[in-house]
Amino acid sequence: MRLSGRNSLEDMTEQELEKERWIDDDYAVVSQYYTAKRMYPDIPFYLQDENGETFVFGLDLIYQYLGNINHYPDW
């Protein structure tokens, strides 16, 4: 079933695809965090950015990130 609007890979620009990849990667990190916390609730979780800086990863960082993203463009 094909919906109206821009929803196929052929219709997306390279920048739009890259933005989608970033969002998918971010969701994967959050998913791994929740999985790890369920299995090992007392173990700290760290995240290293592309500059090599390390951050304690937790709910406060997740909420800060969610407050700053613009999820999907209005297609």
For the chain, what is the mean pLDDT? 77
Specify the pLDDT at position 38. Answer: 92
Count CA atoms closer than 13 A to 55's CA, side-chain side: 13
Contact assessment for residue 12 and residue 19, using Cβ atoms and an 8 Å cutoff = no
Specify the pLDDT at position 71. Answer: 59
Specify the pLDDT at position 55. Answer: 85
pTM: 0.58
Residue 8 has pLDDT above 70, yes or no: no
Residue 3 has pLDDT above 90, yes or no: no
Average pLDDT score over residue span 22-30: 82
